C-alpha cells in the first residue's frame, strides 16, 4: 500500500515536470510573468503621475511651503521615474522572452496569432 502511494506521488511529480518543461508550459509561465510585469509597470506609472501631481501642488503653494518639502517632492518624482524606467525595461525583457519561446517552440504559421494573443498589453 505504501509503495503504491509513493509510486503515484512520483508519477504525479514526473507528469507535472513534463508539463511545466513542455513548450506550452514554458509559454504559460512566461505569459504569466509578462502580465505581472505589465501590472508592475502600470503601478509605477501611477506612482509617477501621483508624484507629478504632488510636486505641482506644492509648487503652486511655493510661497507657503518649506523648500525642503519641494526638494523632497522633486526627489520623489525622480525616484518614481527611475522605478518606472526599470519596470518598463522588465516588460521589454519579459516580452522578448515570450517572443523567443514562441519562435523556438511553435511552427511559423502560428507565430503571428500567438504573438497577438500573448503579447497584447492589457488595458
CA–CA separation, 65 and 54 (whole Å): 12
Residue 61: phi, psi to the nearest 5? Answer: -110, 35
10 Å CB burial of residue 83 (0-12, 13-18, 19+) is: middle
> Tell me: the pLDDT tens digits for 46-94?
999 999 999 999 999 988 989 999 999 999 999 999 999 999 999 999 9
Q: What topology is assigned to 26-118 in CATH?
A: Methane Monooxygenase Hydroxylase; Chain G, domain 1 (1.20.58)
- Break the chain into its structural domains and give their ranges: 26-118
CA–CA separation, 59 and 78 (whole Å): 16
Indicate yes or no: pTM above 0.85. Answer: no
Amino acid at each position: 500500500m505504501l509503495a503504491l502511494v509513493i509510486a503515484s506521488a512520483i508519477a504525479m511529480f514526473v507528469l507535472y515536470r513534463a508539463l511545466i518543461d513542455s513548450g506550452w508550459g514554458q509559454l504559460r509561465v512566461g505569459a504569466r510573468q509578462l502580465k505581472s510585469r505589465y501590472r508592475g509597470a502600470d503601478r509605477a506609472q501611477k506612482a509617477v503621475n501621483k508624484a507629478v501631481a504632488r510636486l505641482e501642488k506644492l509648487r503652486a503653494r511655493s510661497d507657503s511651503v518649506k523648500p525642503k518639502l519641494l526638494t523632497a517632492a522633486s526627489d520623489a518624482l525622480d525616484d518614481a521615474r527611475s522605478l518606472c524606467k526599470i519596470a518598463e525595461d522588465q516588460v521589454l525583457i519579459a516580452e522578448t522572452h515570450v517572443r523567443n519561446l514562441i519562435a523556438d517552440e511553435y511552427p511559423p504559421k502560428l507565430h503571428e496569432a500567438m504573438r497577438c494573443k500573448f503579447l497584447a498589453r492589457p488595458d
